[in-house]
Amino acid sequence: MTANSDRNMSSVLRLRSVARRAALVAFTAFAAGLAPLDALAQAAEKAQSLPTIPLVVGGRKVVAEVARTPAELATGLMWRFSLRPDHGMLFVYDQPRLMSFWMRNTFIPLSIAFIDADGRILNIEDMAPQDERLHWSRAPGLYALEMRKGWFAEHRIGPGAMVEGLPKQR
């Protein structure tokens, strides 16, 4: 072997060592990134265990998970990747308010109906996954019902329709 080939071999070995270290750093960073995903999976699993109630929306039967606590209201359908047919999530507030929703960390396209204290739909908004724009109720409401995007339109349910079976204020 010549001096040049010794230097070339040494360079190759250094590059391999650097590549191994870079791969180790990348793997460590990737693995560290999985820890928050585990916490998110736990949050989604907990959200899946919310109580459900039957509702009648514009004459159509649905099953809605009920979010009432601040944590449940803040999480909603985040971290979900599917929604069963005729199933949704009902957000229940303590008193009427202007409501706004966004789709951060929500992967299902949704339609949301804002509902007043009497059970009348105020307005319905379509929302795209992971969109952080706010969608507002047009007037103070006590409830919001999220369903798969287009569900209300498919069933010809619009503002003024009644929602029956809503839980009473606490």
Q: What pLDDT, on the 0 to 100 scale, is given for residue 12? A: 45
Confidence band, pLDDT 50/70/90 cuts, at residue 28: very low
What is the pLDDT averaged over residues 71-79?
92
Q: Which amino acid is at 20?
A: R
pLDDT 10s digits, 106-161: 999 999 999 999 999 999 999 999 999 999 999 999 999 999 999 999 999 999 99
Are residues 124 and 111 in contact, defined by beta-carbon separation less than 8 angstroms?
yes
Sign of dihedral through CA atoms 119, 128, 99, 78? Answer: positive
Query: Is the pTM above the cut of 0.85?
Result: no
Higher pLDDT, 42 or 155: 155
**Residue 132 DSSP label:** -
Q: Provide the pLDDT confidence category of residue 168 given band limits of 50, 70 and 90.
A: confident
Q: How far apart are CA 15 and CA 52, in angstroms?
A: 59
Q: Given CA atoms 11, 17, 21, 22 in this order, what sign does their dihedral have?
A: positive
Cα gap 95→91, rounded to integer Å:
12
Tens digit of each residue's pLDDT (9 = 90 or more) over 2-24: 555 555 555 545 545 544 554 44
